[in-house]
Amino acid sequence: MSNEISIFERASRAKLRFVSIRGLLSVEDLWDLPLTSKTGFDIDSVAREANAQLKAAGEESFVSTKPNPAKALLELQMEIVKHVIAVRLQEQEAAKAKTERKAERERLLGALENKQEEALKGLTAEEIRARIAEIDRE
């Protein structure tokens, strides 16, 4: 958990922004983007742009020991985008599983109702009268 807090704290302190087709986005905006879209305004496009910028930053020098702050921010962007995508995909899978469980429950309830109807139809007239009389006594 401290890793997530750390990257988001670093992003907020650096006032990190992400490039999109509609302008710059904050970290908070990433959570509202669709994973993919036909318009290109989605987190996948933001991730691809951040990755392209990171690749364009070039390789580090093996001679110079000076850290590249711009590259560090681009790496932070990638960490954040990957984290947001992973969480959103996990949430999407959980929602899908919940929908599937709900649909199965509805099917099972329908099957149970059918079985109960079949059981009632299997009763003799005498058994039906006895159950009605029992209900009336209550």
Query: In this structure, is residue 34 part of a structural domain?
Result: yes
Q: How confident is the model at residue 64 (pLDDT cuts 50, 70, 90)?
A: confident
Burial letters for 89-124: b for 16+ Cβ neighbours within 10 Å, e otherwise? eeeeeeeeeeeeeeeeeeeeeeeeeeeeeeeeeeee
Q: Is residue 125 in a domain?
A: no
Domain count, the chain: 1
Q: Residue 92's domain spans which residues?
A: 2-109
For residue 130, tell me if it sits in a domain.
Answer: no
- pLDDT of 11 reads 93
Residue 59 lies inside a defined structural domain of this protein: yes
**pLDDT higher for 76 or 1?**
76
The pLDDT confidence band at residue 62, using thresholds 50, 70 and 90, is: confident
Check: CB of residue 86 under 8 Å from CB of residue 72.
no
pTM of the model: 0.74
